[in-house]
Amino acid sequence: MMLRVDQGKGNKDRYVMLSPRLLDDLRSYWKVTRPKEWLFPVTSLDSLSAAMRRLACEKAHRASGITKPITPHSLRHAFATHLLESGTDVRRIQC
pLDDT over 80 at 40, yes or no:
no
Q: How many structural domains is the chain composed of?
A: 2
| Residues 55 and 93 occupy one common structural domain | yes
Report the chain's mean pLDDT, rounded to a whole number: 84
| Residues 17 and 35 occupy one common structural domain | yes
| Residues 55 and 80 occupy one common structural domain | yes
Parent domain of 86: 50-95
**Distance of CA 40 to CAs 35, 48, 73, 94, Å?**
8, 11, 22, 25
- Distance of alpha carbon 85 from the chain centroid: 20
Percentage of residues of the chain with pLDDT beyond 90: 24
Whole-angstrom Cα distance, residue 23 to residue 8? 20
User: Model's pTM, two decimal places?
Assistant: 0.58
| Residues 63 and 82 occupy one common structural domain | yes
| Residues 56 and 78 occupy one common structural domain | yes
Report which secondary-structure segment, H or E, holds 26.
Answer: helix 20-33
Question: Can you tell me the mean pLDDT for 12-37?
Answer: 89
| Residues 59 and 78 occupy one common structural domain | yes
pLDDT per residue as tens digits for the range 50-71 = 788 888 889 989 998 989 998 8
| Residues 34 and 54 occupy one common structural domain | no
| Residues 15 and 56 occupy one common structural domain | no
